C-alpha cells in the first residue's frame, strides 16, 4: 500500500539505484514473507487442521464447530463481542477523525505538537499495563477520580463493573490505549492532502465544516477504512481487557465474556484444543469477510 | 543483525544481510516445529508411575503469596538445596492458572514445576487425567506419614484409592468474633442460626455499621450454604454431580442472608476487597469464615490488634441433629510426574506438609497433618494473638458436611459470575437460587458431567 508513495522519488535517483533498490525490496519482502509464513500462515493452517479434526487427528467435518456453538456461553459471547465492536468502531471513527481534524486545524504550533504527544502516550503502554491502570481508575476506593465515579452513582468496584456497563468500559479502555496511534496516523494523512486542493476550497469560500465534510473526510476515506479493518480484527479478538477485569474482580465480571476467552477456556480448561481452533477459525472468517466487504465497497485498492 | 562494517561493496553487504536474515528465519521456523515434539524416551516405572531420568539442578516450586514463606523457610533451613521459587496466584477463586500452564507444558513437553501449591482442592479432577500429578501412596510418601493426616483430609486428593496430592491445611468454617466488642455491646455469641439472625437484626438497629458477617466473596456459598447442608454441589461420581439449590436447606440460609444484607449488618464487599479493608475492617463483630481467616484475614490483611479475635463453633439450625459446617479451599500440594528431581521434590513436599517448622509455627491455616495441627493450636495459644483458645477449630475439623464435593468446574467462579453481580444490584439471593442452579448445571454439563437435578 505504501509502495506507491516510494515510486515518487526523483527520476535520476531511480535510474542509478534501480538494481540496488529492487534487490533491497526483495530482501525486505522476503524477510517479511518468511515471518508471515512462520507466524501467520503456518499457525493459521495448523488451526484450520485442528478445527476439522478430533484429538486423535481424524477428520470430523464440522463437528467441532457444532459442539462449540452449542456451548451455553457461545451465543452470549457473540453478543458481547458484537456490541463491543459496535461501540468501539463507532467511537473510534467519530472521535479519531474529529480529533485529527481538530489537531490539523490547530496547525503546526507547539500546542499541536504537545497534543499529538499527549494522544500518543497511552498507546506506548503495553496492553496489559494500560488495562491495569484502568482497573485502578475504576475502583472508587483507590481511584484518583473517585469523586467523579461517586457523582455518577458508583460507590464500589462491584457497581462500576455491573454487566451492563462492560461494553462501554471496554470501549473506553480500548479507545484510551489504541486511539492515540490512529490520531497520529490520520493526522499524517491529513497533512498529505495537497495544499492546492485545500487552498482551492478556501478560495471557493468553504468553511471549516465544509472543508472537513466535503474535502478532507472523503480524501481520508482509505485511511479510515484501513483503521476500521484493523480495529475490527483487533476488536473481534477482545481478550486482555475482560480477562484482566475478571482476575481483578475475582471472577465477578468478564469471565467467558468474549469469544477469544472462550477459546482459551476450551483449549486449557476443557482440554478441547480442536474446539478452540474451530472458534478461532470462525473469528478469522468473520474478520476476513468484514475486511473484504470494506475493501470492496471503498475501492481500497483503486489507484488514485 | 550481523552487519559487516568492513565490507567494501554495499551490494555484497546487502546480500549478506539478506542471507543472515533468511538463516535467522529458517532457524525460527525450525525451532517452532521442533518445539512441538515432546519425548517419552528413557523413562523407568517406579513408585507407581513412569519416571523421567533423574538429574541434578534446581528444584522448581510454585507457591502463592501466602505460601512464599514456606518455600523461603525451607531454603533457609536447607541451604544446600538449589531452589527456584516461583510465585503465582495459587489458582485462587478458580483462576485455573495452573491447569492452563500444565496443558501448555504438556504440549511443549517441558516446563512443569516440580512441586506446586494450589489454594483449590479440586486439582485432582484434571491433574490426574492430564498426567501431571504423581501418585504419592505408591512409594513416594510412606503410609505411616499419610496415616497421620486428619481423617478425610486427603479425600479431595484421592482418585480410586490413589493419593495424588497432600492437603496443606483444613479450612473448616467457624464463627469468628471480636471478643471485646461483643462484651462492650453486651451480646453473646450465637449458637443457632436463628439467634444469629436475631442478633444481626439487633446490631442493625443498635449499632448500625457494625457487621455480623460478609457475603461478598466468591466463596460465600462454601461458608454459609455448605454449612446449611445445601445440596448445590454433591459430586456423586468421577463425572456425575447432583445439583439442587432450591431445597429448604438452601432457601433457609439464603433468606437469612437476604434479611441481614438488607439491614446492612452483613456486608457484600468481600473481605479482601479494597472497600472492606478501608471502610469495614474495624466494624467486625461476628464473621463466619474458614480457619485461615484467623491468620490471613484478621491478622495479616485487616491488621486487627491482638487479643480481640476469638473462634466459636459455627451456629446450627434449631432442631438439626448433628453439627455441620462448610469448608473454603484448604490448599493442596502436588508433585509433578515429570520431575527430574524426585528425591528433592519429595523431601520438600514432605517437609512442607508435615514439618512443625512451617506447619506448626508459620502456617496461617489449620494444618491438615494432625500432629502439626496439635502443635499449631498450642503455638496459637502461646502466641497470644487470639482471645481465648481455638478449640472450636479442632471440633469443626470433623464436622464439615461431606456432601459438598470438589468438581472440575469452579463453584467459586460460578457464584462470582452468577450471583455476585445481582447482589450488587440489590437482588435477593433467594430470587437468584434458580439462576445459580441453572449456571452450575450448564458448567457441569460443559465439563462433561452427568447432572442430576
Mean pLDDT, residues B350-378 taken together: 92
CB contact, 8 Å: B413 with chain A? yes
C-alpha cell at B426: 440489590
Contact A157 B274 (CB under 8 A): yes
CA distances from residue A75 to A231, A281, A292 in whole angstroms, order as listed:
22, 16, 24
Mean pLDDT, residues B327-353 taken together: 94
Contacts of A138 in chain B (CB under 8 A): none
What pLDDT sits at residue A107? 65
User: How many Cα neighbours within 13 Å face the side chain of A301?
Assistant: 6
What pLDDT sits at residue A121? 79
Contacts of A249 in chain B (CB under 8 A): 416
Mean pLDDT, residues B236-247 taken together: 90
Work out the mean pLDDT of chain B and round it to a whole number. 87
Contacts of A27 in chain B (CB under 8 A): 14, 17-18, 21
**CB contact at 8 A, B153 and B170:** yes
Contact A162 B425 (CB under 8 A): yes
Question: Tens digit of pLDDT for each residue in B12-60?
Answer: 333 444 444 444 434 444 444 333 334 455 788 889 899 999 998 999 9
C-alpha cell at B77: 533451613
The pTM of the full predicted model, rounded to 2 decimals, is 0.78
Task: Print the SS3 string covering chain B.
Answer: CCCCCCCCCHHHHHHHHHHHHHHHHHHHHHHHHHCCCCCCCCCEEECCEEECCCCCCCEEEEECCCCHHHHHHHHHHCCCCCEEEEECCCCHHHCCHHHHHHHHHHHHCCCCCCEEEECCCCCHHHHCCCCCECCCCCCCCCHHHHCCECCCCCHHHEECCEECEEECEECEEEEEEEHHHHHHHCCCCCCEHHHHHHHHHHHHHHCCCCECEECCCCCHHHHCCCCCCCCCCEEEECCEEECCCCCHHHHHHHHHHHHHHHCCCEECCCCCCHHHHHHCHHHECEEEEECCHHHHHHHHHCCCCCCCEEEECCCECCCCCCCCECECCCCEEEEECCCCCHHHHHHHHHHHHHCHHHHCCCCCCEECEHHHHHHHHHHHHHHCCCCCCCHHHHHHHCCECCCCCCCCCCHHHHHHHHCHHHHHCCCCHHHHHHHHHHHHHHHHHHCCCEEEC
Mean pLDDT, residues B315-344 taken together: 92
Nearest Cα of chain A lies from the Cα of B73 at a distance, in angstroms, of 29
Per run of 10 residues, the mean pLDDT along chain A (length 304 residues) is 41 56 88 94 94 87 92 93 95 93 78 81 73 86 88 86 89 87 89 89 88 90 91 92 85 87 88 91 94 86 67
Contact B416 A270 (CB under 8 A): no
A vs B: CB pairs below 8 A = 111
Which of A38, A157, A264 is nearest residue B29 as measured by Cβ atoms?
A38
Nearest Cα of chain B lies from the Cα of A47 at a distance, in angstroms, of 14
Nearest-Cα residue of chain A relative to residue B416: A252
Nearest Cα of chain B lies from the Cα of A166 at a distance, in angstroms, of 12
Which of A31, A159, A255 is nearest residue B25 as measured by Cβ atoms?
A31
| Residue, of B416 and B28, whose pLDDT is higher | B416
- CATH 1.10.3720.10 for the A73-298 domain, yes or no: yes
- Beta-sheet strand order (sheet of B450-452): B234-237, B240-242, B450-452
Interface of A with B in 10-29 (CB under 8 A): 20, 23-24, 27
Contact B424 A256 (CB under 8 A): no
What pLDDT sits at residue B93? 66
CB-based contacts of B128: which residues, under 8 Å, 6+ apart?
B159, B164
CB contact, 8 Å: A34 with chain B? yes
Tell me the C-alpha distance between B66 and B352, whole Å.
13
CB contact, 8 Å: B416 with chain A? yes
Contacts of B273 in chain A (CB under 8 A): 141, 156-157
A209-231: string of b/e by CB count within 10 Å (b at 16+)? Answer: eebbeebbeebbebbbbbbbbeb
pLDDT at B9 over 60: no
Tell me the C-alpha distance between A51 and B91, whole Å.
29
What pLDDT sits at residue A304? 55
Contacts of A71 in chain B (CB under 8 A): 446
Which of A179-183, B163-167, B313-317 is predicted least confidently? A179-183
Tell me the C-alpha distance between B153 and B373, whole Å.
12
ipTM (interface pTM): 0.75
Which of A23, A31, A38 is nearest residue B21 as measured by Cβ atoms?
A31
Query: What CATH number does the domain located at B173-327+396-452 have?
Result: 3.40.190.10
Burial (CB < 10 A; 0-12, 13-18, 19+), residue A256, is buried
**Of the candidates B221, B161, B210, B169, the residue with the CA atom closest to the CA atom of residue B187:** B210
What pLDDT sits at residue A143? 87
Contacts of A35 in chain B (CB under 8 A): 25, 28
Radius of gyration of chain B (CA): 26
Contacts of B93 in chain A (CB under 8 A): 250-251
Question: Tens digit of pLDDT for each residue in A232-258?
Answer: 999 999 998 898 888 888 778 888 899
Torsion-angle region of residue B169: left (phi > 0), alpha (psi -120 to 50) or beta? beta
Nearest Cα of chain B lies from the Cα of A88 at a distance, in angstroms, of 24
**CB contact at 8 A, A227 and A97:** no
CB contact, 8 Å: B305 with chain A? no
Helix (H, G, I), strand (E, B) or coil at A51: helix
**CB contact at 8 A, B18 and A27:** yes
What pLDDT sits at residue A131? 80
Q: Where are the domains of chain B?
A: 47-170+329-378, 173-327+396-452
What pLDDT sits at residue A18? 66
Tell me the C-alpha distance between B52 and B131, whole Å.
13
CB contact, 8 Å: A86 with chain B? no
**CB contact at 8 A, A260 and A283:** yes
Same fold, B47-170+329-378 and B173-327+396-452: yes
Which of A23, A38, A268 is nearest residue B14 as measured by Cβ atoms?
A23
**CB contact at 8 A, A80 and A258:** yes
C-alpha cell at A53: 479434526
Distance of CA B268 to the CA centre of its chain: 21
What pLDDT sits at residue A78? 95
Tell me phi and psi for residue A17, to 5 degrees. Answer: -110, 10
Nearest Cα of chain A lies from the Cα of B16 at a distance, in angstroms, of 10
C-alpha cell at A300: 481500497
Radius of gyration of chain A (CA): 23
**CB contact at 8 A, A171 and A90:** no
CB neighbourhood size of A271 (10 A): 18
- CATH 3.40.190.10 for the B47-170+329-378 domain, yes or no: yes
What pLDDT band is residue B239 in, cutting at 50, 70 and 90? confident
Tell me the C-alpha distance between B225 and B432, whole Å.
14
Which of A34, A141, A268 is nearest residue B274 as measured by Cβ atoms?
A141
Amino acid at each position: 500500500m505504501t509502495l506507491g508513495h516510494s515510486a515518487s522519488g526523483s527520476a535520476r535517483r531511480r535510474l542509478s539505484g534501480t538494481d540496488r533498490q529492487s534487490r533491497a525490496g526483495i530482501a525486505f519482502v522476503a524477510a517479511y514473507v518468511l515471518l508471515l509464513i512462520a507466524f501467520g500462515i503456518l499457525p493459521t493452517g495448523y488451526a484450520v487442521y485442528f478445527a476439522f479434526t478430533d484429538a486423535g487427528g481424524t477428520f470430523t467435518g464440522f463437528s467441532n464447530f457444532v459442539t462449540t456453538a452449542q456451548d451455553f456461553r457461545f451465543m452470549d459471547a457473540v453478543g458481547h463481542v458484537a456490541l463491543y465492536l459496535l461501540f468501539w468502531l463507532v467511537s473510534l471513527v467519530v472521535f479519531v477523525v474529529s480529533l485529527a481534524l481538530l489537531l490539523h486545524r490547530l496547525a503546526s504550533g507547539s500546542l499541536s505538537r504537545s497534543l499529538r504527544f499527549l494522544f500518543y502516550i497511552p498507546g506506548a503502554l503495553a496492553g496489559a499495563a494500560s488495562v491495569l491502570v484502568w482497573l485502578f481508575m475504576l475502583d472508587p476506593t483507590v481511584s484518583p477520580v473517585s469523586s467523579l465515579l461517586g457523582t455518577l452513582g458508583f460507590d464500589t468496584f462491584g457497581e462500576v463493573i455491573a454487566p451492563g456497563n462492560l461494553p462501554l468500559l471496554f470501549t473506553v479502555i480500548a479507545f484510551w490505549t489504541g486511539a492515540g496511534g490512529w490520531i497520529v496516523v490520520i493526522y499524517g494523512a491529513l497533512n498529505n492532502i495537497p495544499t492546492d486542493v485545500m487552498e482551492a476550497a478556501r478560495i471557493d469560500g468553504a468553511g471549516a465544516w465544509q472543508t472537513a465534510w466535503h474535502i478532507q473526510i472523503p480524501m481520508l476515506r482509505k485511511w479510515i477504512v484501513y483503521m476500521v479493518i484493523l480495529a475490527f480484527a483487533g476488536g473481534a479478538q477482545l481478550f486482555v481487557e475482560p480477562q484482566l477485569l475478571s482476575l481483578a474482580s475475582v471472577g465477578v465480571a468478564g469471565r467467558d465474556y468474549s469469544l477469544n476467552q472462550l477459546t482459551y477456556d476450551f483449549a486449557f480448561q476443557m482440554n478441547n484444543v480442536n474446539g478452540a481452533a474451530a472458534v478461532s477459525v470462525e473469528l478469522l472468517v468473520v474478520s476476513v469477510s468484514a475486511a473484504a466487504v470494506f475493501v470492496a465497497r471503498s475501492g481500497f485498492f483503486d489507484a488514485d | 543483525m550481523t552487519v559487516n562494517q568492513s565490507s567494501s561493496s554495499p551490494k555484497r553487504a546487502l546480500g549478506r544481510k539478506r542471507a543472515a536474515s533468511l538463516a535467522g528465519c529458517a532457524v525460527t521456523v525450525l525451532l517452532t516445529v521442533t518445539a512441538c515434539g515432546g519425548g517419552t524416551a528413557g523413562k523407568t516405572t517406579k513408585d507407581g508411575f513412569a519416571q523421567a531420568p533423574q538429574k541434578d539442578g534446581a528444584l522448581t516450586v510454585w507457591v502463592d503469596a501466602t505460601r512464599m514463606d514456606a518455600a523461603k523457610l525451607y531454603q533457609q533451613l536447607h541451604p544446600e538445596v538449589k531452589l527456584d521459587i516461583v510465585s503465582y496466584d495459587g489458582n485462587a477463586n478458580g483462576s485455573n492458572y495452573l491447569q492452563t500452564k500444565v496443558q501448555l507444558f504438556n504440549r511443549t513437553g517441558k516446563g512443569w514445576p516440580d512441586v506446586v501449591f494450589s489454594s483449590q482442592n479440586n486439582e485432582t479432577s484434571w491433574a490426574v487425567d492430564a498426567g501431571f500429578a504423581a501418585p504419592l501412596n505408591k512409594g513416594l510418601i510412606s503410609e505411616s506419614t499419610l496415616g497421620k493426616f486428619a481423617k478425610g483430609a486427603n479425600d479431595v486428593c484421592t482418585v480410586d484409592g490413589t493419593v495424588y496430592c497432600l492437603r496443606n491445611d483444613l479450612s473448616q468454617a467457624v464463627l469468628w468474633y471480636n471478643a471485646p466488642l461483643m462484651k462492650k455491646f453486651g451480646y453473646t455469641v450465637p449458637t443457632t442460626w436463628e439467634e444469629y439472625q436475631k442478633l444481626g437484626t439487633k446490631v442493625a438497629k443498635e449499632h448500625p455499621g457494625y457487621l455480623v458477617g460478609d457475603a461478598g466473596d466468591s466463596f460465600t456459598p462454601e461458608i454459609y450454604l455448605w454449612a446449611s447442608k445445601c445440596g448445590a454441589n454433591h459430586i456423586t461420581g468421577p463425572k456425575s454431580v447432583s445439583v439442587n439449590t432450591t431445597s429448604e436447606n438452601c432457601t433457609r440460609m439464603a433468606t437469612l442472608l437476604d434479611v441481614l444484607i438488607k439491614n446492612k449488618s452483613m456486608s457484600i464487599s468481600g473481605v479482601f476487597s479494597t472497600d472492606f479493608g478501608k471502610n469495614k475492617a474495624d466494624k467486625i463483630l461476628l464473621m463466619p469464615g474458614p480457619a485461615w481467616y484467623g491468620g490471613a484475614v484478621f491478622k495479616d490483611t485487616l491488621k486487627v490488634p491482638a487479643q480481640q479475635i476469638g473462634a466459636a463453633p459455627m451456629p446450627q439450625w434449631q432442631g438439626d441433629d448433628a453439627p455441620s459446617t462448610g469448608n473454603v479451599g484448604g490448599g493442596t500440594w502436588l508433585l509433578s510426574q515429570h520431575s527430574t528431581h524426585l528425591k528433592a521434590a519429595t523431601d520438600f513436599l514432605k517437609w512442607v506438609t508435615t514439618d512443625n517448622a512451617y506447619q506448626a509455627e508459620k502456617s496461617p491455616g489449620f494444618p491438615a497433618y494432625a500432629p502439626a495441627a496439635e502443635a499449631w493450636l498450642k503455638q496459637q495459644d502461646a502466641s497470644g494473638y487470639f482471645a481465648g483458645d481455638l478449640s472450636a477449630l479442632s471440633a469443626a475439623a470433623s464436622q464439615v458436611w461431606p456432601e459438598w464435593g470438589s468438581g472440575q468446574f469452579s463453584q467459586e467462579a460460578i457464584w462470582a459470575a452468577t450471583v455476585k453481580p445481582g447482589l450488587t444490584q440489590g437482588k435477593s439471593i433467594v430470587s437468584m437460587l434458580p439462576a445459580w442452579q441453572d449456571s452450575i448445571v450448564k458448567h457441569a454439563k460443559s465439563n462433561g458431567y452427568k447432572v442430576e437435578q
